[in-house]
Amino acid sequence: AATDTTGAGDAFTAALAWSLGAGVSLEAAATYAARVGALAVTRRGAQDSYPTAAEVEAL
């Protein structure tokens, strides 16, 4: 369940930009970014809510 949406859009945008910069396809980058954003809203705060790569992969 969503706990705090602060920073979720920033987390999504950063993950999308990073993935695209790494040469990932748009579809895969968007999927990854959606996972990052989804995890970010489950925690309180902005930067403190950003998940690790391992947490995203486990989702």
Residue with tokens 């979720």: 8
Q: What is the pTM of this model?
A: 0.81
Quick one: what percent of the chain has pLDDT higher than 90? 47
Least confident span in 6-10, 29-33, 51-55: 51-55
- Please count the residues of the chain: 59
Q: What is the pLDDT of residues 24-41, one digit of tens each?
A: 999 999 999 999 999 988
**59/8: higher pLDDT:** 8
Q: What is the DSSP letter of 52?
A: P
CA distance 12 to 33: 5
Residue 36: φ, ψ to 5°: -60, -45
Domain boundaries, the chain: 8-58
